[in-house]
Amino acid sequence: MSFIKVDASSDFSFHNLPYGIFSTPDNPKCRIGVAIGDQILDLSVIKSLFRGPVISKHQDVFDQPTLNDFMALGYEAWREARRTLQGLLSANESTLRDDVSLRSRAFVHQSTAIMHLPADIGDYTDFYSSKDHATNVGIMFRGKENALMPNWLRLPVGYHGRASSVVVSGTPIRRPSGQMRPDQTKPPVFGPSKQLDIELEMAFFVGGGNQLGEPIPIKKAHEHIFGMVLMNDWSARDIQAWEYVPLGPFLGKNFGTTISPWVIPMEALLPFAEPNSIQDPEPLPYLQHPDAFTFNINLFVSLKGQDMVEAATISKSNFKYMYWTMKQQLAHHTVNGCNVRPGDLLASGTISGPDPESFGSMLELSWRGSKNIDLGGGETRTFLKDGDEVTITGYCQGDGYRVGFGTCMGTILPALQQ
């Protein structure tokens, strides 16, 4: 237990201790913090207390405006830092608990903090690893007999996204404009997307990278996975439908991707590991790992229109529904020698479960716009309207505590006149 009081319903229990980048109105410098309860522990203030064999030589990583340098120290450094934090925040440890002056400088109330992107994201890859989602989309566009492409059960399909448009929770998202072809008998038209959608996703940050030409073997992949965030990969379905053949998504995806600000360490999630999905056919040897590496993370999507008093929950899903694991994604990404770097972001793809209420996109919830999504009070949607606020939340439920992810929120702004 910690000397910091934490409500049982708080995302940021003593068992969590996620990392983020924050500033305050009276100190605009971006710095590394750890969330506990409704507080943030400023690591730049207590950096001298990290006296382990690795971080004692690199205390300056906690002076940096991103997590990249800390991530780059590697797996043993992350474990060492977590042990130090657990010790300092323990109810039995006096160093922070009894030093009133140090506590007044080291702790910041979350309500006063401004959150920033946790890392300088050099590259961003989005996978397509939910079998339920891939099947649903395949049925819509190709029919039940051809729902999954031949390669889908053999490898974790992915594409390279746009790192420059990844934004932190709370950043408004502008409705994109582009080419669409709503009437297949007529030429394409240009204008604002009329099928703007959400995608319920999660993503992980790469910690230690690899050298160009040297794959990360799957048995070592966990040593390169720093932690996880929530993600909303906003998607313009009508733009995407016209452009995606033959090279995949482009303008339908690259206008905005929102992530939550707190990075939950993998050590905090390990107690919630679940058996991996049964994979048939059996993957090739470089994709095989016997250890459980999917997680029981409850996920929720809510939508609040401009005229709505309360948000409506439109999806309840779970990360455990994923078919391909993060270890498999990273091993596959690098098997050809591709190098990844600290701060790279690898996303799950839309997370859908087997039941309609667990579908992770409005494309599925409205079944390609053929039925309304009921928001209550007479409000319905098939796709997003201007002014809609979408919030993704998620947490693992422990015995009397949570390991939560905070919020991943964005509001739709009208398209620019062009």
- Residues making up the annotated binding site are 126, 128, 142, 199, 201, 233, 240, 244, 253, 257, 350
Q: CA 91, CA 131: separation in Å to the nearest integer?
A: 44
Residue 19, beta-bridge partner list? 34, 263
C-beta of residue 255 within 8 angstroms of C-beta of residue 237 = no
- Residue burial 97-117, b: 16+ Cβ < 10 Å; e: rest: beeeeebeebbbebeebebbb
For residue 177, give the nearest of 382, 363, 416 by alpha carbon: 416
Residue-by-residue DSSP string for 163-183: GGGEEETT--EEPPEEEE-SS
Contacts 24+ apart (CB under 8 A), 92-97: 95/49, 96/3, 96/46, 97/3
Annotated binding site for Mg(2+): 233, 253, 257
Q: What does residue 127 show for φ and ψ, rounded to 5 degrees?
A: -90, 180
In this structure, how many other beta carbons lie within 10 angstroms of the beta carbon of residue 200?
Answer: 31
How far are the Cα atoms of 7, 150, 161, 191, 192 from residue 130, in angstroms, in the given order? 33, 15, 18, 31, 29
| Residue 400: CB atoms within 10 Å | 8
**Tally of CB atoms within 10 A around 357:** 11
Judge whether 222 counts as a catalytic residue.
no
Catalytic one of 15, 133, 224, 332: 133
CA pair distance 116, 228, nearest whole angstrom = 16
Dihedral of alpha carbons 114, 413, 415, 352, sign? positive
Residue 193 in tokens: 């997307």
Q: How far apart are CA 390 and CA 374, in angstroms?
A: 15
User: Three-state DSSP class for 378?
Assistant: coil
Binding-site residues for substrate, in ranges, read: 128, 142, 240, 244, 350
User: Could you tell me the maximum CA-CA distance found in the chain, to the nearest angstrom?
Assistant: 74
In sign, the C-alpha dihedral spanning 260, 265, 269, 275 is positive
Q: Which residues are catalytic?
A: 133
